[in-house]
Amino acid sequence: MGKCLLLLGANSDIGSAIARKFASEGFDVILAGRRSERFDSLASDLSIRHNVKTFVVEFDASKYETHQRFFSDLQMRPEVVVYSIGHLGDQVKARTDPELALDIMTSNYTGAVSILSLFANEFEQRKSGSIIGISSVAGDRGRQSNYIYGSAKAGFTAFLSGLRHRLFPSGVNVITVKPGFICTKMTEGMQLPTPLTSTPDKLAEAVFSAYKRRKDIVYHLPMWRSIMFIIKMLPESLFVRTKL
């Protein structure tokens, strides 16, 4: 089977960097997302630059009823599926706007469960493949500043953990990627601490290396592992007094 990457969330800054990295390593690429005409130029660029096949497909994580058809109709069967869809949203607004809160759940969690379950079943039968989910350090502990987004990421992280456990005997690798701060559209306008912030290209390198080395959980930057370890260890009585 030829090597093919399916990128769910092709308009994501992190996702497109991952697509560029895999294409540079010889992977054919299926770019999937909403208003897919926006990534026609990325598709042409990848084909010309790296001499790989590219396809552009419409995909909306919230349209569950379309997922089976999307899965069945793909032009190539992927070896690697990356879920890079997400919605941070206005976390204060989401406290009083249930539709926004639900959209955050759908993009980061339930949409992922719906579509990735289909690939998990295929890969398990085939006994090969990798599923890579871009979760977040925000899922490691609910914090007052972003617990709606964080709880969706926590769900996604737990889903990927269970999937990895289930698929281990069939040789299918599941990687949970937990970025800290990455400069993208999602973080535009935020004051990010430079030593804790990375770029989509550096994250894409880390994701490809994790794929090659069949890693399971990747923190990026790696120092986030220690930071989140400390945050997770804080007793609740102390934690509720912090401004995190």
What is the contact surface with ligand NAP in residues (CB under 6 A)?
9, 11-15, 33-35, 59-62, 84-87, 106-108, 111, 134, 136, 179, 181-182, 184-187
Shortest Å distance, C-beta 140 to ligand NAP = 11
Q: Which is nearer to ligand NAP, 61 or 206 (CB)?
A: 61
Shortest Å distance, C-beta 211 to ligand NAP = 16
Q: Which is nearer to ligand NAP, 40 or 240 (CB)?
A: 40
Q: Which is nearer to ligand NAP, 23 or 32 (CB)?
A: 32
Shortest Å distance, C-beta 34 to ligand NAP = 4
Q: Phi-psi bin for 70: left (phi > 0), alpha (psi -120 to 50), beta?
A: alpha
Q: Where are the beta strands (DSSP E) in the chain?
A: 4-8, 28-33, 54-58, 80-83, 130-134, 173-179, 181-182, 197-198, 217-220
Q: What is the DSSP letter of 28?
A: E
Alpha carbon distance 5, 76 (integer Å): 9
5, β-bridge pairs = 29, 80
Q: Which residue is nearest to ligand NAP (CB)?
A: 86
Shortest Å distance, C-beta 180 to ligand NAP = 7
32, β-bridge pairs = 8, 57
Q: Which is nearer to ligand NAP, 128 or 197 (CB)?
A: 197
Q: Which is nearer to ligand NAP, 51 or 97 (CB)?
A: 97
Q: Phi-psi bin for 176: left (phi > 0), alpha (psi -120 to 50), beta?
A: beta
Q: Which amino acid is at 140?
A: D
Nearest by Cα to 176 from 128, 149, 206, 136: 136
Shortest Å distance, C-beta 67 to ligand NAP = 11
Shortest Å distance, C-beta 159 to ligand NAP = 13
C-alpha dist (Å) from residue 238 to 21, 139, 231: 42, 19, 10
Q: Which is nearer to ligand NAP, 83 or 123 (CB)?
A: 83
**What is the C-alpha radius of gyration for the chain, rounded to an integer number of angstroms?**
18
